[in-house]
């Protein structure tokens, strides 16, 4: 079964069971300063898990693009990658454990409308319980009723079977499904044998049902939510691997076009790992770049730069000619032509970006390697690690990886201190922004969210309707707005934009919303994030007395201030180029 059919069967299964199909959100979260990328299908749905009504109803499903880099050191084994597609279905205060588990099992094992997997190869884990929540006997009971024997159900602690987005937000226990991929089958396993089979990748996690009924604040579970939610997820790449009877994701169809373009290697583990790392990092970089990110030393751009430069190093280990990554990038859209057509239309620009970044890195790569070899006789100080970063373009992770290969240590804390002295990194980045998480909803952030809508419209008023939103980032201290425009704003243009926004603030206009069919919403002339895909119904926020006479109209999930008069005064503090044709404004409310 190819990946296209897996997607189709998944969505058809849940559509038949009353779920609204949602499009994938862009990889870069909008108005979420706590996360660099979408790391799970539920991330864009966080406000609705907390009780806000969703325009699509209480049953939802989609296939969501995701990027996670916290396990980057594991890439190269059988199952880890940095980009993946998450098949997910959600219940927002509707069905709970019984239906979620039963449907997961039916889809996995049914031969008529599901994937036809052998139920005798399934192993199940449930939450063992702790001081915050009891042992999940309810889930185990459902599994037993479906025919899963008691000795294939294992209870694991919070580290394994509890899902949480970070320090704050909705959370809860989960039940996970593992599949035996060995040729002969493992049969019955003790608890310890199952853990060993998981560690050795003889079993593969293929599905996860999270039962979100608790709330965490400042790292502690504080109680139950007003509604019980279900968030399920299945990694497409792992399902494809299992259904195509492969023992690793890189031999399945999604990676096949990329792997076919890489050197065969010598069969040694190091060579196999290098091929997989190059394939993974190129694929992830293509998706990130297609969603509008350019390499840089901060935020999403830093992740892209890290991936590309790591790919260059492993391509060199494979003996690939310089500038090979751009050619390999051209293979990625073929596996996704019917799913993400934007990959095809952006292909030329993405390949050019790859060539520029590799050329830039290679200017200093060899000198940097010579410098590293000079330092590698002893542990590397934070100052030296920063020198490799600032002078030779080595991301810290590359220095750390080289150090591990030479069995020496790197002073990461010292490096971070040096970095803080020399660069303007946001607090979120320096304190662990790469871990992902959910956006805050403070009063100040709501005001900045509303101010962003005013700024977007004011820019169009001053610069023309060619202005298009390319991304935004909001925290409690400022807003950042990226937009398509060819030239630097003059002082007069910036002043005029400020004047328009502040005039609308002084008018104390109401901020209102309405849920419409997408076609009806588009007819109103409302602005929407040009790369976003929308479902059949959308929430439209408008600023003004009514929709017909609104100053600003945008597709948006909210939330916002209730009136513009609450915002204060907007001041543009910086306007700069991000890349060719892309400008960035940073502004504050005073």
Tokens of 166: 């970070």
Distances (CA, A) of 568 to 102, 444, 451, 572, 589: 52, 10, 10, 13, 6
- Location of structure tokens 């390999």: 328
Q: Is 453 one of the annotated binding-site residues?
A: yes
Burial class for 218, CB neighbours closer than 10 Å (0-12, 13-18, 19+): exposed
Evaluate whether 405 touches 432 at the Cβ level (below 8 Å).
Answer: no
Q: Is 485 one of the annotated binding-site residues?
A: no
> Helix (H, G, I), strand (E, B), or coil: what is residue 511?
strand
- Location of structure tokens 């060995």: 182
> Helix (H, G, I), strand (E, B), or coil: what is residue 182?
coil
Evaluate whether 9 touches 115 at the Cβ level (below 8 Å).
Answer: yes
Evaluate whether 250 touches 276 at the Cβ level (below 8 Å).
Answer: yes
448 phi and psi, to 5 degrees? -65, -35
Of the chain, the end-to-end C-alpha distance in Å amounts to: 57
Question: Computed from CA positions of residues 293, 294, 300, 303, in that sequence, does the dihedral angle turn out positive or negative?
Answer: positive
Tokens of 186: 């493992």
CB atoms within 10 A of CB 407: 7
Single out the residue of 64, 28, 29 nearest to residue 47, CA to CA.
Answer: 29
| Element (DSSP H or E) covering residue 286 | helix 269-290
Query: Residue positions in the annotated binding site?
Result: 449, 453, 556, 560
Query: Residue positions in the annotated binding site for Zn(2+)?
Result: 449, 453, 556, 560
């Amino acid at each position: 079964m190819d990946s296209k059919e897996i997607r189709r069967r998944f969505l058809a299964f849940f559509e038949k069971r009353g779920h609204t199909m949602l499009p994938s959100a862009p990889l870069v979260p909008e108005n979420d300063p706590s996360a660099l990328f979408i790391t799970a299908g539920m991330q864009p749905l966080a406000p609705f898990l907390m009780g806000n009504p969703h325009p699509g109803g209480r049953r939802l499903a989609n296939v969501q693009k995701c990027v996670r880099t916290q396990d980057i050191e594991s890439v190269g084994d059988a199952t880890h990658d940095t980009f993946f597609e998450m098949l997910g279905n959600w219940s927002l205060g509707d069905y709970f454990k019984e239906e979620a588990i039963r449907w997961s099992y039916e889809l996995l094992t049914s031969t008529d409308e599901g994937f036809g997997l052998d139920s005798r190869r399934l192993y199940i884990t449930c939450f063992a319980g702790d001081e915050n929540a009891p042992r999940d006997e309810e889930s185990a009971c459902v599994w037993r009723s479906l025919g899963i024997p008691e000795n294939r159900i294992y209870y694991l602690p919070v580290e394994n079977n509890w899902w949480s987005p970070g320090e704050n937000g909705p959370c809860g226990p989960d039940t996970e499904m593992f599949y035996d991929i060995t040729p002969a089958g493992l049969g019955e396993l003790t608890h310890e044998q199952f853990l060993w089979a998981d560690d050795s990748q003889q079993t593969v996690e293929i599905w996860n049902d999270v039962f979100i009924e608790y709330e965490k604040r400042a790292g502690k579970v504080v109680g139950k939510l007003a509604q019980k939610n279900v968030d399920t997820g299945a990694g497409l790449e792992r399902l494809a691997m299992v259904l195509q009877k492969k023992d690793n994701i890189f031999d399945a169809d999604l990676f096949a076009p990329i792997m076919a373009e890489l050197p065969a290697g010598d069969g040694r583990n190091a060579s196999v790992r290098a091929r997989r790392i190059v394939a993974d990092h190129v694929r992830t970089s293509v998706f990130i770049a297609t969603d509008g990110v350019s390499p840089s030393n901060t935020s999403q751009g830093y992740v892209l730069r890290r991936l590309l430069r790591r790919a260059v190093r492993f391509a060199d280990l494979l003996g690939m000619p310089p500038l090979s990554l751009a050619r390999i990038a051209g293979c990625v859209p073929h596996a996704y032509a019917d799913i993400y057509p934007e990959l095809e239309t952006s292909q030329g620009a993405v390949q050019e970006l790859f060539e520029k970044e590799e050329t830039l890195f290679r200017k200093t790569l060899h000198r940097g390697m010579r410098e590293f070899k000079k330092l590698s006789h002893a542990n590397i100080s934070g100052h030296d690690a920063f020198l490799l970063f600032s002078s030779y373009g080595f991301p810290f992770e590359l220095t750390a990886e080289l150090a591990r290969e030479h069995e020496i240590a790197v002073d990461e804390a010292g490096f971070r201190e040096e970095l803080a002295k020399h660069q303007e990194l946001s607090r979120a980045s320096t304190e662990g922004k790469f871990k992902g998480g959910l956006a805050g909803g403070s009063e100040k952030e709501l005001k900045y969210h509303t101010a962003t809508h005013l700024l977007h419209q004011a820019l169009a008023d001053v610069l023309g309707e060619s202005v298009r939103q390319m991304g935004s980032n909001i925290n409690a201290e400022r807003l950042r707005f990226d937009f398509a425009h060819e030239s630097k704003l003059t002082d007069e243009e910036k002043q005029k934009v400020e004047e328009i926004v502040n005039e609308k603030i002084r008018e104390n206009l109401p901020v209102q919303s309405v849920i419409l069919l997408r076609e009806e919403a588009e007819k109103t002339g409302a602005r929407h994030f040009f790369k976003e895909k929308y479902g059949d119904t959308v929430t439209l926020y408008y600023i003004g007395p009514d929709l017909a006479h609104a100053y600003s109209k945008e597709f948006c999930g909210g939330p916002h201030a209730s009136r513009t008069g609450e915002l204060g005064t907007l001041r543009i503090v910086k306007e700069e180029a991000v890349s060719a044709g892309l400008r960035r404004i940073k502004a504050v409310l005073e």
